[in-house]
Amino acid sequence: RDQITGSGIYGFGKTGGRVPVGIGRRRLRIVVTGGAGFVGSHLVDKLIERGDDVIVIDNFFTGRKDNLVHHLGNPRFELIRHDVVEPILLEVDQIYHLACPASPVHYKYNPVKTIKTNVMGTLNMLGLAKRIGARFLLTSTSEVYGDPLEHPQKETYWGNVNPIGERSCYDEGKRTAETLTMDYHRGAEVEVRIARIFNTYGPRMCLDDGRVVSNFVAQAIRKQPLTVYGDGKQTRSFQYVSDLVNGLVALMEGEHVGPFNLGNPGEFTMLELAQVVKETIDPSATIEFRPNTADDPHKRKPDISKAKSLLNWEPKISLREGLPLMVSDFQKRILNEDEGKGY
Ligand code: NAD
Ligand code: UDP
Ligand code: UDP
């Protein structure tokens, strides 16, 4: 492994992401915004493991230090409490921009803040990328397709989004973030990458973030009924977090701007998901129906042929394989909660 230069003369510039990963490549300095969150912390694990330097920027709205505690003390790791809505000066090669609450419960909690995070936060990170010549990756979302009229969704589909609804702060916020990203690319020649992420699950999701997989798994462990919203016939496609992290890194290191759908094409109704959770955790678990939320997309399934052919990426872990991998993490945290230790 080659050595790293001091921070003052670190090799910034357009070479950032072009250096292939592997033995003998230069060690990179990488910012992960939102790195204390669910996806971000798994991405940090991978980047640290392959030998790079990582700076996490997070305001801890939905993220937790516990997700990164195993890196504290590592000289290649730095954690900065900072809100991306405010400007920041750093010197790095790559920026993975994840900062934004992802669960509908969290992003609706303070919708104006969600918009500021998506618009001003993304603007600041793009301004940073422009100043230092870093490569910038935006984690956008399948929500840009809204309640889709095309199924499965290809990247060429422009979406069906309500601009004035309860989900708009997130959907339209991410759409604007994509626009900003492309405008910095076209106008300021910033090297950019756009990922459109579909529903992702795994260890370290917030226990009570309201997302369907974390809700069902926590409910089954706590011996509570699984809450199915609406008639439960709406569909989603669930991706295990390590598949997503591999896709994000392949996108950052590759030569294509995107946007790329990153998701698992396996499509499930919420009732089918409840059934898989029952089989995995507790076959005696019951189901309770609740009213659905406003503007809930009826179906969602990625067409991933673009990522397959241009990034040579596809998910490897099915829902039935992935669910058990998050159960022990949830069990441990729920047990700690019960014992009053909190988490
Ligand atoms: P998460 O809520 O677990 O993580 C988001 C992180 O961003 C948290 O650590 C939070 O504290 C931080 N953050 C929020 N606002 C911030 C701000 N203003 N300044 C600094 N930090 C801030 O969510 P996640 O599931 O890890 O999602 C990560 C990214 O991936 C998000 O941008 C999300 O929109 C996108 N995404 C996730 C999914 C999914 O299913 N998990 C699907 C589509 C898109
Ligand atoms: N920015 C930042 N860090 C930097 C460079 C820029 O946070 O290293 C912010 C800057 O404060 C501004 C945004 O990014 O709010 C956009 O910067 P840009 O230079 O593109 O635009 P301008 O400052 O001219 O509005
Ligand atoms: N949902 C559910 N029970 C829950 C939480 C969510 O049936 O306890 C449904 C929700 O109505 C939606 C789907 O699960 O149709 C996915 O919701 P989630 O919040 O996980 O993600 P998103 O709506 O962003 O895809």
Q: What is the pLDDT of residue 23?
A: 59
Cα–Cα distance measured from residue 191 to residue 194, given in angstroms and rounded to the nearest whole number: 11
Q: What is the pLDDT of residue 267?
A: 95
Residue nearest to atom 14 of ligand 1 (CA): 100
Q: pLDDT tens, 208-264?
A: 889 999 999 999 999 999 999 999 999 999 999 999 999 999 999 999 999 999 999
Q: Quick one: which ligand is closest to 237's CA?
A: 3
- CA 67 from chain center: how many Å? 14
Q: Is the pLDDT of residue 4 over 70?
A: no
Please give all residues whose beta carbon lies within 6 A of any atom in ligand 2, as ranges.
87-89, 123-124, 127-128, 130-131
User: 3-state class of 111 per DSSP?
Assistant: helix
Q: What is the pLDDT of residue 15?
A: 40
Q: Is the pLDDT of residue 1 over 90?
A: no
What is the average per-residue pLDDT within 89-99?
Answer: 98
239 CA closest ligand 1 atom index:
40
Helix locations, 24-160, DSSP H: 38-49, 104-109, 111-116, 122-132
Q: pLDDT tens, 49-81?
A: 999 999 999 999 999 999 999 999 999 999 999
Q: Is the pLDDT of residue 123 over 70?
A: yes
How many other C-beta atoms lie within 10 A of the C-beta of residue 244?
25
How many other C-beta atoms lie within 10 A of the C-beta of residue 302?
27
Cα–Cα distance measured from residue 125 to residue 153, given in angstroms and rounded to the nearest whole number: 28
Q: Quick one: which ligand is closest to 128's CA?
A: 2
Q: With the C-alpha atoms ordered 106, 110, 111, 113, is the resulting torsion angle positive or negative?
A: negative
Q: pLDDT tens, 140-167?
A: 999 999 999 999 999 999 999 999 999 9
Alpha carbon of 56 to ligand 1 centroid (Å):
13
- Is 201 annotated as catalytic? no
Encoding tokens for residue 318? 């099915």
Cα–Cα distance measured from residue 54 to residue 41, given in angstroms and rounded to the nearest whole number: 11
Residue nearest to atom 29 of ligand 1 (CA): 98
What ipTM does the predicted assembly reach?
0.97
Encoding tokens for residue 161? 């989004």
Q: With the C-alpha atoms ordered 199, 202, 206, 207, is the resulting torsion angle positive or negative?
A: positive
Q: Is the pLDDT of residue 19 over 50?
A: no
Q: Give, as one character, the DSSP assignment of residue 71.
A: G
Strand partners, 56: 32, 79
User: 3-state class of 292 per DSSP?
Assistant: coil
What is the average per-residue pLDDT within 314-325?
Answer: 96
Percentage of the chain lying above the pLDDT 70 cut: 91
Q: What is the pLDDT of residue 22?
A: 55
- CA 11 from chain center: how many Å? 28
Q: What is the pLDDT of residue 297?
A: 87
Helix (H) / strand (E) containing 169: helix 168-188
How many other C-beta atoms lie within 10 A of the C-beta of residue 311?
22
How many CA atoms lie less than 13 Å away from 335 in the CB half-sphere?
Answer: 6
Residue nearest to atom 23 of ligand 2 (CA): 127
Encoding tokens for residue 82? 């900072």
What is the average per-residue pLDDT within 304-320?
Answer: 98
Q: What is the pLDDT of residue 208?
A: 83
Q: Which is higher by pLDDT, 342 or 37? A: 37
Q: pLDDT tens, 173-183?
A: 999 999 999 99
Angle at CA 138, nearest 5°, toward 135 and 239?
125
